[in-house]
């Protein structure tokens, strides 16, 4: 045979390489499947060896305990009847892990093997959960302890307070309808601050004196010696104060039923204008880029590039269009959210109802009732933008001039529950 006949042509070389390649690939795939089968078999064998008395039911109980939710439901009794409790409920479902703080750690204490501890802890939490399910809603209102009031200077304030409490209670009894909450418990109490030393629960309503109330709570709890020495950032960003939703179910249950619950409110239209002036008429690194840009983009025709980029210069009319839009380009904010959705006053029967319009008198009377130090007085300074005129009825009228009668009516309709339950006079529309 000639040497030239022994040389394979390119076509034969290509076919040979292809055949060997396919064969190698098939061999690799076979080995991979075999290895996986061996590995899976070992895992299944180990699982069988580790089988214990911890059943699937106990595991599920453990998962339930770690991701505890409190959600009491009840069939609606009619749209009008459940107006206060069901109107515009948050679509977002809030899930809260059960926390323990201080004395609340006792809830999970148990002795014995891990499986026994798990079962005992679950049963303990389930007992508290059952207590919540059986709670009487709305919560009982406690009579104010007036034993510490030694003079008659608070007589008028006390009379006004009793009228507010009675009015709110009667209003909720008449229009509240349902006797059980339709929202998650942890969401319901998420705006409530806790001061354990004087056993006070304060529901925060922004633009109704909440900054100075937080200063007072810090002094009461021993975190500061004077309300006048605490900066705005320390109040709002320091995270020195505890909120009720940071406790476990037992802690929430105990405090709701034994502490003095207070809420301070404000005329809804004044509160709205105050929030607008604070967040949109002054430089703000959060509200301008987050809310301002979205509002200008949707509600200002032919907006300039600068306004679209920085979100500054939002007009009150544009802000109102955003507020009333059922398809807002950005969500709600606590500074203009309804009080009925911040504090749930027809479910959590507040023992004390203060008003921004008589803030100093109401606040100082409350401090007397809870046994605060005599030298502690509610601060009367403006938290920010101190050179600006306070938002009052006259200022509000100036802003309402830019709106049509229909827009004014729609704002009132938006806050109608706040107007009605706290007995505020219907504004001139």
The C-alpha atoms of residue 410 and residue 427 are separated, in whole angstroms, by 12
Residue 281 lies in a domain: no
* pLDDT of 182: 55
Residue 371 lies in a domain: yes
Q: What secondary structure letter does DSSP report for 306?
A: H
Q: Is residue 161 pLDDT above 90, yes or no?
A: yes
Please check whether residue 426 is in contact with residue 357, taking contact to mean a CB–CB distance below 8 angstroms.
Answer: no
* pLDDT of 429: 63
**Which of 13-27, 334-348, 408-422 has the weakest average pLDDT?**
13-27
What does 184-204 look like in DSSP terms, one character per residue? -HHHHTTTEEEETTTTEEEE-
pLDDT band at 294 (very low <50, low <70, confident <90, very high): very high
Total number of domains in the chain: 1
Comparison of pLDDT for 392 and 234, the residue scoring more: 392
* pLDDT of 410: 96
Residue 352 lies in a domain: yes
Q: What is the mean pLDDT of the chain?
A: 77
Please check whether residue 292 is in contact with residue 319, taking contact to mean a CB–CB distance below 8 angstroms.
Answer: no
Strands 192-195 and 242-243: antiparallel
pLDDT band at 303 (very low <50, low <70, confident <90, very high): very high
* pLDDT of 79: 37
Q: Is residue 415 pLDDT above 70, yes or no?
A: yes
Comparison of pLDDT for 25 and 372, the residue scoring more: 372
User: For residue range 12-30, what is the model confidence (pLDDT) as tens digits?
Assistant: 767 777 787 777 777 767 6
User: For residue range 198-213, what is the model confidence (pLDDT) as tens digits?
Assistant: 999 999 999 999 999 9
What's the CA dihedral at 319, 321, 326, 331 to 10 degrees? -10
Whole-model pTM: value is 0.69
* pLDDT of 227: 86
Per residue in 292-331, is it b (16+ CB within 10 Å) or e — as a string?
bbbbbebbbeebeeebeeebbbbebebbbbbbeeeeeeee
pLDDT band at 183 (very low <50, low <70, confident <90, very high): low
Residue 160 lies in a domain: yes
Strand partners, 242: 194
Please check whether residue 203 is in contact with residue 341, taking contact to mean a CB–CB distance below 8 angstroms.
Answer: no
* pLDDT of 34: 63
Please check whether residue 379 is in contact with residue 212, taking contact to mean a CB–CB distance below 8 angstroms.
Answer: yes
Grouping H, G, I as helix, E, B as strand and the rest as coil, residue 264 is strand
Q: Which percentage of the chain shows pLDDT scores above 90?
A: 52
What residue has token string 């749930």?
344
User: Mean pLDDT across the stretch 156-162?
Assistant: 94
Tell me the HSE value of 31 on the side-chain side, using a 13 A CA sphere. Answer: 6
Residue 57 lies in a domain: no
User: Mean pLDDT across the stretch 145-172?
Assistant: 89
* pLDDT of 35: 63
**Which of 73-77, 128-132, 141-145, 254-258 has the weakest average pLDDT?**
73-77
Domain that holds residue 202: 152-268+338-389
Q: Is residue 319 pLDDT above 60, yes or no?
A: yes
User: Mean pLDDT across the stretch 322-349?
Assistant: 95
**Which of 313-322, 384-393, 400-409 has the weakest average pLDDT?**
384-393
User: For residue range 43-77, what is the model confidence (pLDDT) as tens digits?
Assistant: 444 444 444 333 334 323 332 333 333 333 333 33
Grouping H, G, I as helix, E, B as strand and the rest as coil, residue 300 is coil
Residue 408 lies in a domain: no
User: Mean pLDDT across the stretch 98-108?
Assistant: 34
| Nearest Cα to Cα of residue 421 among 80, 176, 158, 140 | 176
Residue 241 lies in a domain: yes
Residue 231 lies in a domain: yes
* pLDDT of 348: 92
Q: Which strand ranges, in their side-by-side order, compose the sheet holding 200-203?
A: 242-243, 192-195, 200-203, 260-265, 352-355
Tokens of 306: 């600068």
Tokens of 332: 């709600």
User: Mean pLDDT across the stretch 344-370?
Assistant: 95
**Which of 109-118, 172-181, 288-297, 385-394 has the weakest average pLDDT?**
109-118
Comparison of pLDDT for 144 and 134, the residue scoring more: 144
* pLDDT of 21: 73
Q: Is residue 368 pLDDT above 90, yes or no?
A: yes
* pLDDT of 231: 83
* pLDDT of 233: 81
User: Mean pLDDT across the stretch 339-348?
Assistant: 94
Q: What is the largest CA-CA distance in the chain?
A: 131
Comparison of pLDDT for 268 and 174, the residue scoring more: 268
């Amino acid at each position: 045979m000639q040497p030239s006949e022994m040389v394979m042509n390119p076509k034969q070389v290509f076919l040979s390489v292809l055949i060997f390649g396919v064969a190698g690939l098939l061999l690799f795939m076979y080995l991979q499947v075999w290895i996986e089968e061996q590995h899976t078999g070992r895992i299944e064998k180990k699982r069988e060896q580790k089988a214990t008395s911890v059943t699937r039911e106990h595991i599920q109980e453990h998962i339930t305990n770690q991701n505890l939710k409190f959600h009491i439901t009840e069939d609606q009794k009619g749209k009008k009847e459940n107006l206060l409790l069901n109107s515009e409920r948050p679509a977002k479902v809030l899930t809260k892990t059960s926390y323990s703080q201080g004395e609340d750690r006792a809830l999970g204490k148990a002795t014995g093997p891990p499986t026994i501890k798990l079962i005992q802890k679950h049963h303990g939490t389930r007992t508290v959960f059952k207590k919540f399910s059986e709670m009487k809603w709305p919560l009982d209102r406690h009579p104010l302890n007036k034993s510490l009031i030694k003079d008659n200077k608070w007589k008028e304030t006390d009379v006004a307070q009793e009228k507010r409490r009675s009015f709110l209670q009667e209003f909720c009894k008449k229009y509240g309808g349902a006797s059980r909450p339709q929202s998650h418990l942890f969401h319901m109490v998420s705006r409530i601050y806790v001061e354990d030393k004087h056993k006070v629960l304060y529901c925060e309503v922004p633009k109704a004196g909440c900054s100075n109330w937080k200063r007072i709570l810090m002094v009461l709890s021993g975190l500061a010696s004077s309300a006048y020495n605490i900066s705005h950032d320390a109040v709002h960003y320091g995270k020195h104060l505890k909120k009720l939703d940071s406790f476990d179910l037992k802690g929430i249950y105990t405090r709701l039923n034994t502490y003095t619950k207070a809420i301070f409110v404000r005329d809804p239209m004044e509160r709205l204008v105050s929030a607008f002036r604070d967040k949109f008429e002054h430089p703000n690194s959060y509200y301008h880029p987050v809310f301002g840009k979205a509002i200008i983009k949707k509600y200002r025709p032919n907006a300039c590039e600068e306004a679209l980029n920085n979100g500054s210069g939002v007009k009150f009319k544009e802000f109102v269009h955003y507020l009333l839009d059922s398809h807002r380009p950005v969500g709600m904010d606590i500074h203009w959210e309804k009080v009925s959705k911040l504090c749930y006053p027809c479910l959590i029967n507040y023992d004390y109802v203060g008003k921004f319009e008589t803030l100093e008198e109401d606040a100082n009377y409350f401090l007397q009732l809870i046994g605060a130090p005599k030298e502690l007085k509610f601060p009367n300074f403006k938290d920010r933008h101190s050179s600006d005129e306070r938002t009052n009825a006259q200022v509000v009228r100036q802003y309402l001039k830019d709106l049509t009668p229909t827009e004014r009516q729609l704002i009132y309709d938006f806050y109608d529950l706040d107007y009605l339950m706290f007995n505020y006079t219907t504004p001139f529309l």
